[in-house]
Amino acid sequence: METTYKKERQKRFILPEDQIPTAWYNVVADMPNKPLPMINPDTHTPVTEDDLSVLFSREAARQELNTTDRYIPIPEPVRELYKNYRSTPLVRAYGLEKALGVKSHIYFKNESVSPIGSHKLNSALPQAYYCQQEGVTNITTETGAGQWGAALSYAARAFGLELAVYMVKISYEQKPYRRSIMQTFGAQVIASPSMSTRAGKDILTAHPNYQGSLGTAISEAVELARITPNCKYTLGSVMNHVSLHQTIIGQEAELQMHMAGEYPDVVIGCFGGGSNFSGLSFPFMRHVFSGEKKTRFIASEPASCPKLTRGVFQYDYGDEAGYTPMMPMFTLGHDFSPANIHAGGLRYHGAGTIVSQLLKDGFMEGEDIPQLESFAAGQLFAQAEGIVPAPESCHAIASAIRRAREAETQGREDVILFCLSGHGLIDMASYDQYLAGNLMNYVLPQEEIDKTTSKLEKII
């Protein structure tokens, strides 16, 4: 009897533990044009490590301003915890390719397998670790959709820190499951506005039924950090040190693409403040700086919050409340409040300073995705690959689908790589709305953008 063997195709690529990268990649060291400095809003002088370490841990402040070291070692205890879920799989999306009927090869880096379901843990762990090392006992943060709060709750527990999370009141009431996750890990979750801070009290006195906003939650988290001894504040996106920590994603992906015998023509990430996009892209981008490769990098943002494609390049605050230093960024203005958007993690008004410079210099592109196209892409992906993507990640999937279809009509077989930044299993209320036909595309009028960007001080 004769047996014919077919060459089996590999779907998932995982690195052995001893090949997980041991340092993060600091892209700033290799950038042809460095980002402009962050400045102090009062004096307009560049911020120093001392300025930043009032709010953040000393090591995070140091990393924020590091423009020279290409690699920054990942501390041993953080690497140990990374091993609980890293390497994350690189997966060839055969199902999606088939559903689209395209010859291009589509890969995704699956960050949804982290214990809390998104890439956010990659930065929560080192941020908590540095605080513990520096004798900090308490940390604070704010959360809207709850992904960052959930990641930080686990990280705080792992390093024995007390965590207070200010959660926008309307999310606290309408999206109870991430609150439960945070509480399960032992975090204190406070609906914002609250009576625990001056900022919260002031707003509640004036508007007793106020449902909260990210801006108010930030004000409360920062205020608590300032008045509590041994307490620091943390952020889960936008800042340089956060993007730095996320480069574990792209470094792994590069090794895994090598295992697959391929190299991406296009690298895609959804874009809130830039951390998962940066994490996947930067390690590949170093080969573009050196002239070896011509990879395309695409950041997919919601059409209703289009800082990369329709924002202005100007100094603005990294947060809605105006507590961070002023940063040179593509921004819609820190007062901008996106309407009608179900991808909570993509609501940020601005992009980090590194990605902003890279966009300005033409190393990457922004792409706007309408809400309905995004959910349709997510549903197709779910049916083809068996994973329900986070509403944020659906934007990256939509861009990947656009690229695969374009390549098909132009007769090319491209290699497309995108970041699946998280799963959507705790975001099913948004899918319900989509499936019920209640969601609409929101066309953002130019006047709305002008209103908030014209208020920015013209520093550049």
Q: Which residues bind ligand PLP (CB under 6 A)?
A: 118, 120, 147, 237, 270-277, 345-346, 390, 392-393, 421-422
DSSP SS3 for 418: strand
Query: Shortest distance, CB of residue 109 to ligand PLP, whole angstroms?
Result: 12
The length of the chain, given as a count of residues: 460
Residue 111 carries which side chain, given as an amino acid letter? E
Distance CA 367, CA 310 (A): 10
Residues whose CB is less than 8 angstroms from the CB of residue 199 and which lie 6 or more positions away in sequence, other chains included: 193, 216, 219, 220, 223
Query: Shortest distance, CB of residue 35 to ligand PLP, whole angstroms?
Result: 17
DSSP-derived secondary structure for 365-405: EEEEE-HHHHHHHHHHHHHHHS--B-TTHHHHHHHHHHHHH
Residue nearer to ligand PLP on the CB measure, 225 or 270: 270
Strand pairing of 231-233 and 266-270?
A: unpaired
Query: Shortest distance, CB of residue 443 to ligand PLP, whole angstroms?
Result: 22
Residue nearer to ligand PLP on the CB measure, 333 or 345: 345
Query: Shortest distance, CB of residue 112 to ligand PLP, whole angstroms?
Result: 8
Query: Shortest distance, CB of residue 271 to ligand PLP, whole angstroms?
Result: 5
Question: What number of other Cβ atoms are within 10 A of residue 228's Cβ?
Answer: 15
Query: Shortest distance, CB of residue 454 to ligand PLP, whole angstroms?
Result: 26
Residue nearer to ligand PLP on the CB measure, 200 or 422: 422
Query: Shortest distance, CB of residue 408 to ligand PLP, whole angstroms?
Result: 27
CB 63 within 8 A of CB 354: no
Comparing CA positions, the residue from 90, 69, 83, 88 lying closest to residue 23 is 69
Residue nearer to ligand PLP on the CB measure, 105 or 119: 119
Query: Shortest distance, CB of residue 178 to ligand PLP, whole angstroms?
Result: 10
DSSP SS3 for 147: helix
Residue nearer to ligand PLP on the CB measure, 61 or 270: 270
Residue nearer to ligand PLP on the CB measure, 256 or 276: 276
Tokens of 406: 């374009």
DSSP SS3 for 355: helix
Mark out the alpha helices in 175-305 (DSSP H runs).
Answer: 176-184, 198-206, 214-227, 240-259, 275-289
- In the numeric block, the tokens 């600091």 are attached to 26
Residue nearer to ligand PLP on the CB measure, 304 or 393: 393
Residue nearer to ligand PLP on the CB measure, 105 or 245: 245
Comparing CA positions, the residue from 426, 432, 433 lying closest to residue 118 is 426
Query: Shortest distance, CB of residue 175 to ligand PLP, whole angstroms?
Result: 13
- In the numeric block, the tokens 């066309």 are attached to 443
DSSP SS3 for 56: coil
Residue nearer to ligand PLP on the CB measure, 72 or 249: 249
Distance CA 133, CA 125 (A): 12
Residue nearer to ligand PLP on the CB measure, 24 or 277: 277
How large is the C-alpha radius of gyration of the chain? 21
Query: Shortest distance, CB of residue 204 to ligand PLP, whole angstroms?
Result: 28
